[in-house]
Amino acid sequence: MSETKILIGVIGGSGLYHLDNLTFVETVNPETPWGFPSSPITISRLPSGTLVGFLARHGIGHTISPSAVPGRANIAALKSLGARAILAFSAVGSLREEIAPGDFCLPSQIIDRTKGIRVSSFFTGNIVAHASFADPFSKKLSAWLEIKVAEALKKEGRDIKLHTDKTIVCMEGPQFSTRAESVMYRQWGGDLIHMSCIPEAKLAREAELSYALIATATDYDSWRPSEAGVTAADVFKTLQANAATSRFVAAYVLEELATGVAQADLMSIITEEEGSMNFSMMRRSSAEQDHPEAAQQLAYILPNYFGPSATKA
């Protein structure tokens, strides 16, 4: 296992297969109890010296379909490298006229329309937990990003809009929605649609990592009556430009997080979820004895509760 400790993990989505302008340190590929992550993790140094780890959600060559992304391995691998928070990027469809392709968005709520194909918990053995998920994105990190992503977009200079506090629908895919579904999601209050944040956000919460999503709009999905429904070609049209802006935004916000925030504030932002699983687990006191295999797996993501370095057992 790598000795280098990263502070933040970055998950790149469609079009975003690497970050820019960071100093390469090493590439690692940790095997977790849930297998290997989607891609090797590139560890890079920010100008301030802080280390970040990047992984490509669909693999470097985009070979992994949304339903087959190894979510548990991705989150576990980033946590094992030291990550306290995850900044995830995603290409999304817009369910609102005012959110145009090319715009950036910070969602605050999720409507889960995945179909149970994806394993969405680390607690699938005989140790049971019910994590709180009312606010699926970390509130402090998202609130901080609201200011910093806006600053980054201003510096970028193309007048790209940032929308905040939006509701994102996470559908199963890989096919896009029907027109009826797209219209229904609008009626439900959905603003954005994609195929990625479930189970990522749930797993990050179980691993007590702060998790926020920067969504970049690529298309208007299929709700506009007089327009053709979304195609992959529509998405590709804006994907490259969005990815270039995402790289700029990532470099800016990561360095700001590392240097532009007082240490106490930084820790308060990135450790918001730490300790949150303490009262989410059922019957933990006898877990190690009764279910040693499950406890051993969980020690990988929750070493404070399970395994030899547990302090909250």
- Contact footprint for ligand ADE (CB under 6 A): 91-93, 171, 176, 193-195, 218-219, 221, 230, 235
Nearest residue (beta carbon) to ligand LNRAV4D5: 13
Q: Is 177 annotated among the ligand-binding residues?
A: no
Stretch that binds ligand LNRAV4D5, among 41-49, 191-199, 248-256, 304-312 (CB under 6 A): 191-199
Pick from 21, 99, 13, 103: which is nearest to 62 by CA?
A: 13
104 contact choice in ligand ADE, ligand LNRAV4D5, none (CB below 5 to 8 Å, kind-dependent): none
Residue positions counted in the chain: 313
**Choice between 219 and 288, CB closer to ligand ADE:** 219
Site string for ligand LNRAV4D5, 47-86 (x = CB under 6 A): ----------xx-------x--------------------
Q: Is 220 annotated among the ligand-binding residues?
A: yes
**Contacts for 158 with CB less than 8 Å, ≥ 6 apart:** 245
Pick from 47, 54, 48, 67: which is nearest to 26 by CA?
A: 54
Query: What tokens appear for 72 in the block?
Result: 């548990």
Q: Please, are residues 149 and 214 in contact by the beta-carbon 8 Å criterion? A: yes
Place of tokens 């992503």: 149
Pick from 136, 102, 140: which is nearest to 246 by CA?
A: 102
Pick from 53, 59, 60: which is nearest to 22 by CA?
A: 53
Closest separation between CB of residue 4 and ligand LNRAV4D5, Å? Answer: 26
Closest separation between CB of residue 69 and ligand LNRAV4D5, Å? Answer: 8
57 contact choice in ligand LNRAV4D5, ligand ADE, none (CB below 5 to 8 Å, kind-dependent): ligand LNRAV4D5
